[in-house]
Structure 1
Amino acid sequence: MDQDKVQIIVAEIDKWRRSKLLPEHYCDFLMNLYMDEREVEGPSVLGISQKAVSNSNWKTWMSIIAITGIISFIGLHFTSFSFWMQTGVLAVLAVTLYLVGAAQRVKQPLVSCLCFGGASGILLLGGIYLLHLREAGTVPLVFVVALCGMIWILTGIAAKFPVFHFAGWLLLLLIYAFVLRHNITDIDWIGVELSWVPLSLVLCWLAWLLHHVNKQISAVFFLTGVLCWFGGELYGFVWTGLDKDVLQLLLGAKLAVGGGVLFALRKKWVEWVM
């Protein structure tokens, strides 16, 4: 059977196992059957088997060499390109990686994850680099980073990769902290807590609200909410001159309260994320 079809069937069997659509021993039998057939193809790296390499023709090799040469040329001469050409190259590369990642989402999850990661990195670092060239200032930089965060969130949700969804929220939280730092210079510990605790409660409420719809999304909201619960202390340590002893006391108190609530409601929230 074709290698791609086998991989799709194996992925489906794994879904049946997780969703309890078939008994465990049936899933094991089917998995062993198709895994044995896949092993006939020989060892593989990122889904490329020995047989595929051995039976490849000269056109495939020439295409790989040509693509590698083009990428190398662009990389070596990138800084000598004009601003708009650099923008176009980065945009094409990011879009291509996103499309490849989407195309390989089911067949090659690892390749898909690497493509999404590369595209997301290009989007963020490339955007910062281009803004630095134009000396655009703080506001455009904040806008670009926030936009990257939202794209990462949408990518994580659409591709069902929670790590990108969570990484997008981390970017947005960094932007939130940055905006607080530059707009509220004289802040006390009450202001710090009011800046983060309500956000934490809203995110945890959204996790509860969405757990019937999508548990992956719910889990990310819940984890982000827990992070925001301690966001005030992290923000206070890094970006304010507040008394460290007070922040340490607050951190200890919130650890006790948060831990107690999580323990008391463990039978509730565990259903949101698992």
Structure 2
Amino acid sequence: MNSENRVDIILKEIDYWRQNRLLPEHYCDFLQNLYIEQAGTANKNSTFSIQAMKQGNSKVWLLGFLIFSLICGIGFYFSLFPWPLQMATTLLVTSVSYTFAAVKRPRDKRISLFWAFGGNVLLLGLGGWMLQLHQAILPQNVAILILCCGILWWVTGHFLQLEFITYTGLLCFILLYALLLKHLHTDSSWLLLQLYWLPLSGILGWLSWFSHYKIKFMAPVWFAAAITIWFMPELDLRLILQIYPKPFMLWVMVKLALAFVILYVLRKKWMVWISNETVSTTTTN
């Protein structure tokens, strides 16, 4: 067995440990990077490695030219495509980006995150561009686009176990909830908005605790969403309802101070929820 095959087997074993939570995430990342650096597989397996470009590899340069030409062609002629081709192009480029993210995930989480986030940007950007080109920027169409993005980002992040991508999917759902509140209550007060948002923050905080025992990688996602929703009444009031009362900054500072107090008092609990340490269980007779 040559060294490359041996390293591939080790990397697959490390990924198995990560998927089944046999080791903490940061330990798996450390071992993974250690074996990649020692074997020198990072540059050897990289299609667009600097060494390959220096050596004048014709396949690398041709592939790079084709990709660059494709990006330019889509950018320049996307507005001229009929809408079925625009939709097909959007789905194709985002699918390619997510596929690269899935392929890179077992070996390099950061590169996988880069490709997945690129797919998110492409889906949202091209989808919004389509609505603008066809003069279809209506509230219901925007809501459908946000919903589609939220579902796809959530599924992608959950499948690849990329916390930030899953969090972006949650942000879409949070935004949809804010738009729904605006549609139902156009003149909501600050106190009423607290009643609409703060219980959700508490529920997501509980889900962070629950996920710590059941679905470990989701715990920091729920926690980040809970923190976001904690400040959503103020963001909703200012950005969506576009109301700026005089004591607005005072309310923000009070909410911020209260959040710091709660986080400080409960620091020994929530830091365990969002950490990568495995949950230790003890049995008592």
TM-score, structure 1 length as denominator? 0.80
1:209 aligned onto 2:210? yes
Structure 1 letter corresponding to 2:37: M
Equivalent residue for 1:35? 37
Partner of 1:166: 167
Name the structure 2 match of 1:225.
226
> Tell me, which stretches of 5 or more residues in structure 2 are unaligned?
276-285
Cα deviation for residue 148 of structure 1 reads 0.3
CA contact (8 A) 2:123 2:149 kept: yes
CA displacement 1:155-212 (0-9 Å, x = unmatched) = 1121121111112222222222223223312222221111111111111111112111
Q: Kindly state the Cα deviation for residue 116 of structure 1 after the two structures are TM-superposed.
A: 1.2
User: Cα offset for 1:42?
Assistant: 9.2
* Structure-to-structure mapping, 1:127-206, within 5 angstroms: 127-136=127-136, 137-206=138-207
Which is worse superposed, 206-215 or 51-60? 51-60
SS of 1:129's partner is helix
Stretch of structure 1 that moved more, 45-54 or 142-151: 45-54
Cα gap change, 1:61 to 1:216, in 2 (>3 Å):
same
Structure 1 pair 226–44 and aligned structure 2 pair: CA distance change class (3 A)? same
Once residues 42 and 162 of structure 2 are traced to their aligned partners in structure 1, the CA distance between those partners, rounded to angstroms, is 29
Identity of aligned residues (%): 29
Deviates more, 1:53-62 or 1:88-97: 53-62
Question: Contact 1:7/1:107 (CA < 8 Å) preserved in 2?
Answer: no
TM, length-normalised to structure 2? 0.77
Deviation by residue 1:130-167 (Cα, 9 ceiling, x = unmatched)? 12233332102111112202211221121121111112
Equivalent residues of 1:127, 1:144 under 8 A apart: yes
Distance 1:15 1:250, change over 3 A: farther
Gaps of 5+ in 1: none
CA deviation profile, 1:228-254 (whole Å, cap 9, x unmatched) = 112112222332436331x34433433
Question: Once the 2 structures are TM-superposed, how far is the Cα of residue 79 of structure 1 from its aligned partner?
Answer: 2.0
2:260 paired with 1:250? no
2:53/2:60 contact within 8 Å kept = no
Structure 1 residue 121 displacement after superposition: 1.1
Structure number with the bigger relative contact order (C-alpha 8 A, sep ≥ 6) is 2
- Cα distance between partner residues in 1 of 2:5 and 2:49: 11
Which residue in 1 is equivalent to 2:91?
91
Matching of residue 267 in structure 1 with residue 268 in structure 2? yes
Secondary structure at the counterpart of residue 212 of structure 1: helix
Q: Offset at 1:56?
A: 7.7
Secondary structure at the residue paired with 1:244?
coil
What's the secondary structure of 1:86's corresponding residue?
Answer: helix
Match of 2:278 in 1: none
Q: Which moved more, 1:173-182 or 1:91-100?
A: 173-182
Q: Which moved more, 1:233-242 or 1:91-100?
A: 233-242
TM-aligned CA distance change 1:92 to 1:49, over 3 Å: closer
Correspondence for 1:241: 243
Kindly report the root-mean-square deviation, in angstroms, between the aligned alpha carbons of the 2 structures: 3.5
* Pairs within 5 Å for 1:88-127: 88-127=88-127
C-alpha distance in 2 between matches for 1:258 and 1:251: 10
Pair 1:212–1:81, CA change in 2 (3 A) = same
C-alpha distance in 2, partners of 1:68/1:255?
46
The verdict on how the C-alpha distance between 1:270 and 1:80 changes in structure 2, with shifts beyond 3 A counting, is: same
